[in-house]
Structure 1
Amino acid sequence: MTESSDFSRQFDREYDLHGRVTIATQLSILFYPSFGILDAVIAPEWLGPFLLVRLAVVISNVAVLAVLHFNKTQQVARYCGMAVMILDALGIALMVQLLGGFMSSYYQGFTLIIICMLAVLPWGARETLIVSAVIFLSYIVPSVWAIDRGVLQWRVVVNNTFFLGSIIAVCVIASHLMYNVRCRALRVRTRLEETAKELEQSNQRLVSLDELKTQFFANVNHELRTPLTLLLAPLGAMLHGTGVALSTQMREHLTAMQRNGLKLLKLINDLLDLTKLEEGKTRIRVSPFDLVAFCRNIVEAVRPLAVERRVALRLDCSATEIEVFGDTEQLDKVVLNLLSNALKFTPAGGEVRVVVAKSADGPRVEVRDNGEGIPEGMLKIIFDRFAQVDGSKSRRHDGTGIGLSLVKEIVELHGGQVWADSKLGEGASFIVQFQAGEAHIADEVRERRSRNREVAVDRREGACETEKLRDVVRGIPSLQLAGFERRGREPASSISGTDANTRVHEHTLLVIDDNPDVLQLMRFLLQDEYNIVTESSAESGLALVRNEVADLVISDVMMPGMDGHELCKRIKESEETRQIPVILVTARAGPEGITQGIDSGADDYLPKPFDPPELLARVRSLLRMRKAEADLVRLNRNLKARADDLVDRQRSLFLSTVRCLISALEAKDQYTRNHSVRVTEYAMALARRMNFGERDLRDLELAALLHDVGKIGVPETVLHKPGKLTSEEFALIKMHSAKGAEIVQQISEIGAVAPAVRAHHERYDGTGYPDGLRKVDIPIGARVMAVADTYDAMTSDRPYRQGLSHSAAMKEIVRHSGGQFDPEVVESFLALEDWFRTTRNSENCALPLTSA
């Protein structure tokens, strides 16, 4: 395996090559002379020389050990390790040769060296192969050279050689595999260490960012609370003070401002509370309180809101007093958040019930409603941060998804539990389970500082301004419930407060939003210039648009049911309403929202908060554009009508001219006089029966009038010959259809009818002239003219015969259906039999009468 120099050095350091070589050297110094005992037993005659050999090897190893002590580089350690193994092997090789070479059993000492090398030294295949090769050669070469000196047993020679070679081969392969395993393990450890280091750095960055986030939230909380207090305090003074006279409209606007200011403050408080809980910095002031009285006060504070929403709110208590230890200010948020959820998702006429009881596990508060319920899959995640049952654009209820997560964090901070139980369509129950006593509340979450004042649970109407400001910063029920949607404050539909059919101004605007405060604001901003119709849902707004109520639509994007984008698509896909301008207003700004709005067909896109003058400017601009488009459409309609009238008059004049020319050409022959006019009348009747379009009818009328114009090139002697025509004369007659097409084609205004003129003598079975066309290859106009032309020719007198009766001509045409004539045209001809009979015998039809 080829490794980079950096990795090799790292490998040697990781597996301590220097230390392992030092250990191998020390083992050699220790055990090499101890095998003198074996020499005394196996070869006592060679004991002296063998001791000298062993002493020499030990002295050499001591020298290597000294080198290792003074030079601790990994490269020197690698060479020293190889030197120790080779020195030990050379000593054994010398003793093997003194004992007879191949026949000596001392060669097994090589096996010990190889096993030690494999077990102690973390070498790869290269170093192992070099040392093993030296060992093998030190045994084979001298033994082969000394073969003639003694008697050999070849079986022993082969056995010893094969055994030593096999051990060397296994050792090299094992060394290679072990080296690869060590390399892979080192790479994995290196990657793990690098990953751990990166994770540690990332964690430190996240901790720093988290600290910055906490500091940011604290700063934002301070920066937002100050201006909000400066806004809400004067609003409260104006609304509740006795020295300020407010009009009804101004009071409504100030109330909406206060309500939405409190809603924003509540959101700020919730975000700050959530941040503190995440950081573990929230502390609770634990004190005993009566859970029954606590819940009763909150229920009474919320009851006016429940009445406003037409929801029954009840409190059930199993005991008159239940003691609980906890922080009432924090637990306010728990009960109020659960009540706000229950009231929010309970429709008008529903019921919310607060049950306070003492169970075997401890005090319990349960908030039940009979609203729409929660899907089973959401019950496990409903308390997760930012989780919402419906987080889509068209959701029915407002919310950020942090209320229930705050509930869970606060309850668990008190050592309690909270869970939800629900069936979709049958309402939901939220249960808060407390523990008895206070021993279960951890010391690290307790607030050790003394409380300067008690938290007031009772919220009285008409409190002084100081109390109102204290409410703003302490999170009382009026603030906790500030995010509630109000019902019944906005009429479903009105125009500036008057009847929907009353038009005070020239233009009517339809404003659609599910927030009554926004509808009230839009009316206030726009009612001086426009009639204002308001709707709280896209479905009802679309119905008004289809009833032609609005000249312009202003719609919110995020609404329950159908959202603003879908409403815009519905308006723009209808031919009757697509010209109505649509402005989409949304709190979700950014290029994605604008792109989606434009893709849905919106004429303009306005992000919240918007500037009132900008809104008015955009409305005026779109209405001016709509008026200009309407004027342009009206002008185009008038121009088109005039152009159509001129075209019709031009065509009438042209047809009159053609009729005059055709009449002049046919006047020379009393037998064919008005033939083209009659063929035109017959052909047009058949074409109308066959539902020809207007353009096809106009082309057929021209083609029928001009179908025999080519006869101008046939000599009059042939045309007026009273007797039977010769074949040459008939050939001249047959050329008139092609000649007529050539004449017509030269006139650009009527060149399109040339194919029908050329083919009016073609036969359905392909035996006609001049081109032998058949069936649908023959233009449909030519197939119609063939029947009309033949009927008129058969019922008209000629110099060489008398005309047939209508009945005889009809039978002849039917007989040739599918051969000479198109069966579909013949079918229409039969359907018009009475008309043809009446028309033929009419005095208005310029036709020489024959006897029936």
Structure 2
Amino acid sequence: TLDKVLHEIVHAVSDAAGFRIVLLRVLNEATGRFEARAFAGLNRDAIRKLELLRIPRAEFESWLKEEFRVGRSFFIGHEKKFWGEVDDEGYTPDLGVRQEGEWHQEDVLFVPLYTKDGNVVGYFSVDDPVDRRLPSRETVETLEILATHAIVAIQNASLYERLNDSLARLEEATERTEEVADLKNKFISTVSHELLTPLTAIRAYTEALLEHIGSTNIDMQRQFLGVINEQSLKLRRLIDSILELSQLESGRFRMSREPFNLVGLMDEVVQGLREMADAKQIQIVVESASPEIVVEADRGLVRRVLNNLGSNAIKFTHEGGTVTLRTLVEGRAVRIQVEDTGIGIPKEGIDRIFDKFYQIDSSLSREYPGVGLGLSISKSIVEWHGGEIMAESESGAGSRFTVLLPITAGDAHVITHATWSPSRSVSDHLTRLTVEMIAEVMNARTASLMLVDEENSELYIRAARGLREEVVCGTRIRIGDSIAGWVAEHGEPLLVTNIEEDPRFGRPNRHQYETKSLLSVPVKIGGRVVGVININNKISCTPFTDDDRALLSSLSDRVALAWQRVSDHERSSERTEETSRTLTAIIENARRSRLKLNSGSMATRAVALGRKLGLSEDDVEVLAYVASVHDVGMGQIDLTVLQEPGSLDDETWARVAMHPLRSAEIVKPIEFQEQVTEIIMAHHERIDGKGYPRGLKGQEIPIGAKIIGVLDAYESMTIGRPYRHAMTHAEALQELRRCAGTQFESRVVEAFGHLYQSEETTKLVRTAEAA
């Protein structure tokens, strides 16, 4: 192996050149760093310390000065003071007092390892000569001869390793191919049987009709044609189901998410099942704790799940039985139950009930016809939504199928993990809220917070949403490695639009990621990187953009400020509570916004309108953040009161009028820009001075607040209320123009009109955030 070859090289150099200590570093092309791979004359602690110290290529190249060159080697004497203050304790031996001409503790001699093409593959350095003397010309030449042999040995060993890896991958691929072939054969066998059954019936009845052409037996013809039609429909359902399941399992499936009323959808499904239920005199009962439960999901796919479960329940329930469809809200998830009083499922069948083409008993396929794919498709649909489906049943005692579906697309359990605590301790509760806030505001299904383990120069996941627990607890990334490691090393955000095409990190997309786009930004305190925030799986299934990068960087800056305040202040528990309230309010505000049927796009629209009006990119970045948090104060108002017709009473109006000030107060614990506070407080002011809460007018109102004010009004008008219909785009635009110059800034309204000339253009903007 390569490691064995490297080990032999350093010991050969030590023996032949007379140095007690030899270190060999190899260039990692992926990270651009030289990694310590082989050692001679060092103890375990020294080796571990050197392994953690990886030398950037640029730093290595800075050593290659002509003044240090000796042949093809480089000697940097201690008198040059080249290294400055170096922490070499633990791997540089104390050589004691040295005379002139003797090797000094801070002397460095290294030999670069270049291929014939001039590409550097590594270098080895030597220390502590046996004779205590500075190396002679002959010693350096010996080292260079050994270096030439080392390059050949390293290249051969690397080639051998790559060959072994290729053989292993080929062997693994062969095994997978055999498994796939076996599954394919079983699948083809099952599908062939399912296809032949209706085809056989169709052919038999068609032949019978052909034999009786000209017959006057209308009843027989009607019966035969009815059978042919029924079997044709069965074929159509089978083919459609196979195609749908193939899409779901291939990872190429794309959902169209939107907020909708689940209870209303359930009523529609039940109406469609009535005829089937009435034919068997089965009663369908619908139970819901609320007349409206808004979820963010693919409406068509959820309908498919409800249809599959409902029709199965009716199919396997005897005449006169009951089928119940039930919805319950549990925290940030909704529980859907479909329960029947039918034949039930035997215990041994529960574990396989979601398998493709599974039938509990072959005799049932004759009594209860079906293709056997409905439950498998339902399971895939539910899992694509980040939910789970389960079955409970006993033979002869009916069945209950339960679906747990996140209310919003990002809702998932946040897992925290802490095997090491940074010097600035942050509670599990605060890190959990941080991840939730990031995921909700950025509309990402997957988010993780990684902290720096300075002792081991690694990143580890402190909290995550959308990742499996074993990934959270088992992931450690060296600083400089991979995407998060690069961000931690350079202290800069990194946007990857397509992981498979990016030349820096090109690799196949992982199956658990719905999109190929991801975004990572550093968390800095006092200029020092203390963590990295990562997001992917954007809810809209579209790539992240530079605007997303700017918004996530804004959130990261505020997370860092919050942590710093909590860590530095003597009243840290009080500050932790304040920060927790702030993050919770932002989370709830983001969820409320996403569940508005016409909302979810405020930040995107604000950015587009800000650029249209010529704002600087810094101001646009601030605007995007404010658009995401400006209404957090509304969470303390009973929103049902605002849905009622008529004027608000004095007390309620007073609370509404104060919500901009309350919003500014809520975000204060994580805020550092006065501009943000001013925009939040002024977004309900009017040009004529009749707005609230401070009665500002004209140029006293920040341009950012004027933009948010127009967008807020447009959204309110197009959403509608229970007591009034939503306006069309044209009607809302007309109303904005009518109020231009009094309530709204004229040039902002005009820019909005040019930017969004039709309802279709507003939908295009909305799609990125609310799809």
Q: TM-score if structure 1 supplies the norm length? A: 0.28
Bigger relative contact order, structure 1 or 2, given CA contacts below 8 A and separation 6+? 2
Task: Tell which structure's C-alpha radius of gyration is larger.
Answer: 1
Q: Whose helix proportion is higher, 1 or 2?
A: 1
Q: Whose strand proportion is higher, 1 or 2?
A: 2
Q: TM-score if structure 2 supplies the norm length? A: 0.31
